[in-house]
């Protein structure tokens, strides 16, 4: 597949990039600082790296093509240094270009603290996750909340989201739960398995228009 990846220099994005290369996909990456990418990716024949900023619509336009078959969104929020509404504003740019170029699918990573009362099994554990994020990771939590609201208002675009709980280092197991099961502050998933789930969503219609939780 022809894929465009946003957020490739982060831990989740790095896992996505390596697994996409391994699967034989053609990947276009937009990166503000390409030197942060591993040399193996920079030199790989299936990877095209474009320097730019996803907050600029013109830069997003340069990495999305009529031939693009899927977009992977792994931009993360640094609680201290990221601009306000980073994920929301970059997603808005992506949606505008997707609509103009008729790109078929966006797979994006949300946050486990953004509860869906009509779908999630609301428990003390899930309420604690939301309280903690709202109290100590408010910048990230609020941005992801706004991002979800934006995507829900643009259902004419084909998108599918995923909400990881605590992400950690670890191998790709390929075995995890994806859905609306109970979760708590102890629930977790590796970056590698979150990436594995997102890559599967590029062609699987099961969760289109939804944002399931991914956890072990």
The DSSP secondary structure of 3-63, one letter per residue, reads EEEE-TTSHHHHHHHHHHHHHT-EEEEEES-GGGS-HHHHT-TTEEEEE--TTSHHHHHHH
Name 212's bridge partners.
none
C-beta of residue 144 within 8 angstroms of C-beta of residue 87: yes
Measured CA to CA in angstroms, residue 21 lies from 1, 47, 120 at distances of 11, 8, 34
pLDDT, one tens digit for every residue, the chain (216 residues)? 999 999 999 999 999 999 999 999 999 999 999 999 999 999 999 999 999 999 999 999 999 999 999 999 999 988 888 888 999 999 999 999 999 999 999 999 998 778 776 677 778 877 887 787 777 778 788 998 999 999 999 999 999 999 998 899 999 999 999 999 888 778 899 999 999 999 999 999 999 999 999 999
State residue 193's pLDDT score: 98
The first and second tokens of residue 201, run together, are 């969503």
Burial readout 122-143 (b: 16 or more C-beta within 10 A, e: otherwise) = eeeebeebbeebeeebebbbbb
Cβ contacts of 51 within 8 Å, gap of 6 or more? 30, 31, 32, 33, 34
Q: What is the dihedral of CA 60, 196, 212, 188, to 10 degrees?
A: -110
C-beta of residue 187 within 8 angstroms of C-beta of residue 209: no
C-beta of residue 181 within 8 angstroms of C-beta of residue 189: no
State residue 162's pLDDT score: 97
- The tally of CA atoms less than 13 A away on the side-chain side of residue 3 is 31
* Residue 201 to residue 207: CA distance in whole angstroms: 8
Q: Which domains, ranges and CATH numbers included, belong to the chain? A: 2-215 (3.40.50.720)
């Amino acid at each position: 597949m022809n894929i465009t990846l946003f957020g490739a220099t982060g831990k989740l994005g790095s896992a996505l990039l390596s697994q996409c290369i391994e699967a034989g996909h053609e990947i276009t990456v937009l990166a503000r600082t390409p030197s942060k990418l591993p040399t193996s990716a920079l030199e790989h024949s299936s990877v095209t790296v474009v320097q730019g900023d996803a907050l600029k619509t013109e830069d997003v336009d340069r990495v999305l093509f009529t031939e693009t078959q899927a977009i992977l969104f792994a931009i993360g929020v640094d609680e201290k240094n990221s601009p306000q509404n980073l994920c929301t504003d970059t997603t808005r740019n992506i949606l505008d270009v997707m609509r103009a170029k008729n790109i078929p699918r966006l797979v994006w990573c949300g946050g486990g603290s953004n509860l869906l009362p009509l779908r999630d099994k609301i428990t003390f554990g899930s309420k604690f996750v939301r309280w903690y994020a709202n109290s100590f990771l408010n910048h990230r939590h609020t941005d992801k909340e706004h991002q979800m609201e934006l995507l829900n208002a643009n259902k004419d675009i084909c998108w599918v989201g995923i909400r990881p709980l605590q992400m950690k280092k670890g191998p790709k197991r390929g075995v995890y739960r994806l859905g609306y099961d109970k979760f708590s502050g102890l629930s977790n998933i590796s970056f590698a398995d979150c990436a594995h789930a997102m890559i599967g969503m590029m062609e699987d219609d099961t969760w289109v228009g939804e944002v399931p939780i991914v956890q072990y």
